[in-house]
Chain A
Amino acid sequence: MPQIPAVAAVPPTLVHQERWARKTLLGIAFCAPLILIFLLLVIFPMFYEIYLGLDWSIYTSIFSDPIFIQTLWNTVIFVGLAVNIKMFLALTLSSLLSTEHRFTKILGGIFLLPWAIPSLPGILAFRWMLNGQWGIVNKILTDLGFEGYPWLVRRPTALAAAIIYHIWKYLPFWTLIFVAGRRGIPKELYEASDIDGTSPFQKFRYITLPMLRNLYLICILLSMVFTLGDFVIIKIMTGGAPGDSTHVLATLAYRYTFQMGKIDWGVGTFITALPVTLLFIFILIRKIK
């Protein structure tokens, strides 16, 4: 047949290259919407933000604003406490929820509720529950003979309320992630340790913990980055009150930009947190991939 020598006459590398080029074109064509979104709506805004934030005088101004400094601390406290307490509880509760028991099955179902309910209704319910005058929390306290407390009017308790809401809302999700992570641990490991007669604590310390360590680290980092940008909890729970003392990065940037008209201050607020955020993101990308 005449076709066969004709094909064989073409050097194989050339065919290869041509196929590569065609495939690359195809791949990029299929990714076109994604690339477009990324370039126009992620990379461009980000560089634009960095460009707006290049002016050094912004940082001398905002770092001399006491509210900004307090906001940095609030963010560190909020992210640090909320995420770490939540993850620790999630890891602990995941052992409870992975036990085979009728009660834990029902509990597992109900436990999803906070995660399923959108943020706004939940935060609003918390806010009214903690109201100093008519909130149910103070009502219960006074019924029990304690004194009521203006929870959202004092900085420490207002921040604590935001942290508690965060834990309430996101604990179920991360617990279920760890439940799934535990299912991935080979049963043989536990069976083998049973033969050696190890205690439950030893099992946790020498089998569960090492097996889940990487997942735990990824979860903590991921949750910290997400929480670093949180806006809605503080905005709705305290609105920054009392006296702008409970802001976090996003709510302060919003206040600077849209209420005070100082867009460069708003940009500067985010840029200040950008190095840490990017560091976390790069560690995460390496770990997840």
Chain B
Amino acid sequence: MRLRGWRKFAFYSVCSLLLVWTIFPVYYMITLSLVPEEDLFKPRLYVPRPTLENYIQTAQQSNYLVSEFWIQLYNSLIIALLTTAAVVIVGSLGSFALARIRFRGSRLISSMTLFTYIIPSSFLSIPFFKLMADYDLLGTKLSVILAMITFTSPYAVWILWDYGKTVPVEIDEAAAIDGAGTLQTFFRIYLPLILPPMVAIATYAFLYSWNEYLYVVLFLSGETNITIPVAMGNFLATDNPPWNLLMAESVLYSIPPVILYYCFRRHLLSGLVTGSVTGT
């Protein structure tokens, strides 16, 4: 597209404005993470004496605020991975039934999936908490994983179902004539076919649980049990949190999701559009 005169000017100014608006907080987060302790209370747009001290402190756990960094990272990771695995299983099974088997009750199931997807997770937090307390699950990773599965599998089913519908049913019928049972059809035909959207929903489930704050705050406590975002939130309880250290931890914690988003953005967005929408 070619632009001239005031339109060219308007185009470039809007683009630049958008660029600054988008990047500035990220730029500030990164520069602040490089600020040495003695410069923390001298706000500047650049770092005159950048240091990796905050990253080293985080990695070596030498500040009491990051004293359990690695175990918290491990907690974040294990919760996200187990959720992802469970969602892949629940999602592929459920979507197979909805897309490939015509049965009574399928409409009800699809409605309730959509309902669970839309209802804000926080609305269920209090009864969910009571439920976990009644079953003595508070403080266990299982409690968080169960909550994460609940809130991510509807979207997974929805996307996989949407994709599964587009594959002609004749393939299943041909397999049935060849003597394949339903389970064989599921494993040999259906699963390989839905691999592309599976990547999208696995990424979605991983990121959702990696980012979760509320349910982890409610269910887990103790420095060695919590995940990274909750540990970062706890910084705020101290009188003068070292923001430069907090930003170093922020950057480290943000790297995996940013990589995943940029690797799979095509999958994420195409899945998002076919399955209507997600996000907040």
Contacts and interface: CB of A to CB of B under 8 A. Distances in A.
Interface of A: 20, 23-24, 26-35, 37-38, 41-42, 44-46, 48-49, 52, 93, 96, 99-101, 103-104, 107, 109-122, 124-126, 128-129, 133-136, 138-140, 166, 168-170, 172-174, 176-177, 180-181, 218-219, 222-223, 225-232, 235-236, 239, 249-250, 253-254, 257-258, 263, 266-267, 270, 273-274, 277, 280-281, 284-285, 288-289
B243 A117 contact: no
Contacts of A229: 119-123
B131 A48 contact: yes
A203 B142 CA distance: 53
Interface in B249-280: 250-251, 253-254, 257-258, 260-262, 265, 269, 272-273, 276-277, 279-280
A78 B42 CA distance: 32
Given A33-B94, A34-B109, A281 B254 contact: no
Given A30-B93, A34-B109, A168-B25, A225 B120 contact: yes
Contacts of B89: 33
Nearest to A184: B273
5 contacts: A30-B93, A49-B124, A125-B29, A231-B213, A258-B218
Nearest to A173: B279
Contacts of A284: 114, 118
Given A104-B15, A110-B22, A121-B253, 13 more contacts: A24-B105, A27-B104, A33-B93, A38-B112, A45-B131, A96-B18, A110-B19, A112-B261, A121-B254, A134-B40, A136-B28, A231-B213, A239-B236
Contacts, number: 279
B150 to A, nearest CB: 4
Contacts of A274: 123
Contacts of A128: 32, 243, 247
Interface string B117-137: 011111111111111000000
A114 B22 contact: yes
Contact of A121 (B22, B29, B105): B29
A269 to B, nearest CB: 9
B14 interface: yes
A27 B214 contact: no
A180 B272 CA distance: 10
A111 B23 CA distance: 8
B102 interface: yes
B103 A48 contact: no
A232 B213 contact: yes
Contacts of A37: 90, 149-150, 153
A281 B154 CA distance: 14
B93 A34 contact: yes
A139 B44 contact: yes
A176 B271 CA distance: 12
A220 to B, nearest CB: 11
Contacts of B106: 27
